[in-house]
Structure 1
Amino acid sequence: MAPALLLAAAMAGASPAGYPAAEVIGALREACPSATAVTTVLKGATPAGWTRAADPAATPVGKLAAMGREMGGAMLSGTGHIIGDIAVLERTVAGERLYLIPSGIVNGDTMVVGCRLYDPGETRRIPAAEATRILGRKPTSSSDQPMLSKLGWDIGAPDDADSFEIVSVPADSPVVALLTLSGLMMKADWVMPGATDPAPAKGSEEKK
């Protein structure tokens, strides 16, 4: 894209080169509109328009999904359990191949569920002005560094979530070594004290 056009896009508060921010954010919010919806996906339901990856390990987010389950189990250390199974869902939206990883844990008397959406390798960012227009409220936090840029919403997060984030990680960032991928990422989380979900039988996987 020509420098003049990039400048014009930035001044207008729009994603450069026409990144479909509204469609991608909408895809996450439609798939994970509430904590209850996320829990049903963890139990085997598939949101409209998405498909479950036949081989999650073969997807660009496969290593990250496996790492998340391993770290989640280690963090609980017998004090809780992971809800369902960490699956990878995929979908193409406005030309972007997206991957969705729902997650949930019960730790003590608190249940935490969330959804992570990934557009691997995407180099374009979503400007704060455009995210504000789409979500209807300004971010409550922001960070713009060479290794990572992030917009965050906590109080008043979309869809009654306790937090919502849009993160961009460039290919040359040292963060890639930790995440195992670069690109555009979004997440929504719900924290529910007093909520619970039955633990699977000891020594067996929870059935879908």
Structure 2
Amino acid sequence: MTDPDRVTALAACWERWAELGAALTEADWRRPTRCDGWDIEALFAHHAGYPIALRTRPAEAPGGAVVTAVDVLRGYNVPGSPEVEQVAAAVADGARRQVTALGQERLLAAFAEDARAATGWLAETPGATIFPWQGGPASIMLAEALRIALMEATVHLYDLQHALGLPPDAPASAAAETARLLAEVPDSAAFIEAASGRSEDPVLPVIR
């Protein structure tokens, strides 16, 4: 998938979020999701962080270690790691706090106004451009950051649809790119052996 294709797929995913959000009733906002401890409003608050953060183009990173999407996902999903558990708890708590801080109107605006602003500059920026990764010491190429944002938009769109009693229905390009990324996270040999029915060693899930 090319970088412009990823931006197009991300925009299409966020449009689905906007459409579903606009139809939510007050009772819908309170529906539980399969993300532990999150109702639909908390799920919106969590993923809205992407279009809100990407509304404004960040300053480019001059150098330093450059991570890939796979590096990031592997780092966040080390089995049994206390640090990973702490990060997961912090992300969950942050989503619940954002519900209070932003409110439903702002959450819906994230997938309309902020999403349009974000995909505007993303579409015009070369994928090889390097930006800081979440304010830490590492940096990331825009193409790799797009892979993460698209995966998050797709996986959590499925979470939203599941909570609403709907079948999983993401744009085909977003689903295919997400599947490709997730297949890269486990050890390649272990994944091939398990996927081809030649091993019963647990490989999935690769993300929490």
Q: Give the strand-richer structure, 1 or 2.
A: 1
Q: Give the helix-richer structure, 1 or 2.
A: 2
For Structure 1 versus Structure 2, the TM-score category normalised by the shorter chain is under 0.3
Normalised TM-score (structure 1): 0.27
**Higher RCO structure (Cα 8 Å, ≥6 apart):** 2
